[in-house]
Amino acid sequence: MSIFKTLNFKMLVFPSRKSRLARALTIEDLRKIAKRRTPKGPFDYTDGAAESESSLDRTRNRYKSLQFVPSILRDVSKVDTSVEVLGEKFALPFGIAPTGFTRMMHAEGERAGAKAAEKFQIPFTLSTLGTSTIAEVVDAAPSGRNWFQLYMWRDREGSMRLVENAWNAGVRNLILTVDVPVAGARHRDTRNGLTIPPSLTIRTLIEAAPKVEWWWNFLTTPELRFASMSQWKGTVAELLDYMFDPSMSFEDLKWIRRQWKGTLSVKGIQNVDDAKKAAQIGVDAIVLSNHGGRQLDRAPIPLELVQQCRKLLGKNVEIHIDSGITRGSDVLAALALGADFAYIGRAYLYGLMAGGQEGVERSLEIMTNEITRTMKLLGVSSLKELAPKHINFA
């Protein structure tokens, strides 16, 4: 038999965004594509963490160290990946987390994330430090579920104007981030001299030159700016220290609870006592988060807090989680231990940098496929069947 009869030759296909993204089978694959196509400053802003970056490494490694305990001979011909959180039903048990400066990663920015989230029937969260307004996000995804994340500024009136704008645009879930009294020491950003908009020094011009698509988009699209404030000329670290209010306390949380008529989530809970205090104030959800390792070095690992918080809070307050989630199986592990919902940040941004909205959709497709496949292999046909028995959390 001729060897040529056993070979399956494929027609030569010239590289394109579609073919490039199709070859990505994991979020890590998208990360590698993103790194090749994005200048160092924006990529490192997404990829990096604070100081030694140990908080991020430890958080990711905790997911990797888990052992699943599957059940066999269960009918998993059909699985239901939907979930009900904060009074609404979503097709998947995770949403897109708030991320700042998003158009710096790719010109399509938050609009791409909102459109992809709308298509996959999951929520999209706009950051206070976003580069699109809430009105622009809602216009891009009018049928989507769009949420807003608030950093409480030193300018309280300015902060509440953002909240009012969000409400008027149809936002009904506010996520208050509480773990940023000051900016974490993100050494990659400092070394890169990262500014908004990116500084066009000789160094950045030389480094960005091979990133043709990013460079073209930067020159031919509207100026990169903060949607919630006038343009800032300093570094990112200087901006964060200028904006954030280190005097914020639980009294402020009570005040915001009284002001906001929708559901309120508090993001950045890192111990059980704070979870209890937030619940007593009347928040609807706590988000266990170490800010993706971008604030405190050697911070607590959110996944390790899930069972303790669930035992303490019961079903009175929803428990959400973010930080270090790069696989659909990570989401399922968190849910099995007692979480209600999860968020992805970097996982979506890697897709954005790899290919705009199509890249974001590819990241969500990868996560969806991993969730569906892992559920079947675990022997569960709905998320409600997940339980601590499915996890060896030694």
Enumerate the domain spans of the chain.
Answer: 17-382
Q: Which of 12-16, 201-205, 318-322 has the highest mean pLDDT?
A: 318-322
Which has more confidence, 7 or 313?
313
Report the amino acid identity of residue 254. Answer: K
Q: Which of 106, 291, 320, 390 does the annotation list as catalytic?
A: 291
Quickly state the pLDDT bin for 198 (edges 50, 70, 90): low
DSSP SS3 for 31: helix
Residue 275 near residue 311, CB atoms below 8 Å: no
Q: What is the per-residue pLDDT for 157?
A: 84
Q: How far apart are the C-alpha atoms of 85 and 274, rounded to whole Å?
A: 21
Per the annotation, the verdict on 320 as an active-site residue is no
Mean pLDDT for the chain overall:
90
Query: pLDDT tens, 118-159?
Result: 999 999 999 999 999 999 999 999 999 999 999 988 888 888
* Cβ-proximal residues to 242 (8 Å cutoff; 6+ apart), any chain: 234
Which pair of structure tokens corresponds to residue 139?
A: 């216009």
Range with the poorest average pLDDT among 53-67, 178-192, 307-321: 178-192
pLDDT digits (tens, 9 = 90+) for 236-265: 667 777 778 888 999 999 999 999 999 999
Fold of 17-382: TIM Barrel (3.20.20)
Strand segments (E) across the chain = 67-68, 83-85, 88-90, 94-96, 123-126, 145-151, 173-177, 263-269, 285-288, 318-321, 341-344, 391-392
Q: What is the pLDDT of residues 369-393, one digit of tens each?
A: 999 999 999 999 999 999 999 999 8
Alpha-carbon distance of 290 to 302, in angstroms, equals: 7
Find, among 274, 342, 271, 268, the residue nearest to 305 by Cα: 271
Above 70 in pLDDT, residue 9? Answer: no
pLDDT per position as a tens digit, 48-89: 999 999 999 999 999 999 999 999 999 999 999 999 999 999
pLDDT at site 196? 60
**DSSP of 216-258:** HHHHHSPPP--TTSS---SBHHHHHHHHB-TT--HHHHHHHHH
Cβ pair 197, 232 in contact under 8 A = no
Pairing of the two strands 391-392 and 67-68: antiparallel
CB atoms within 10 A of CB 234: 11
* Four-point Cα dihedral 352, 356, 362, 368, nearest 10: 60
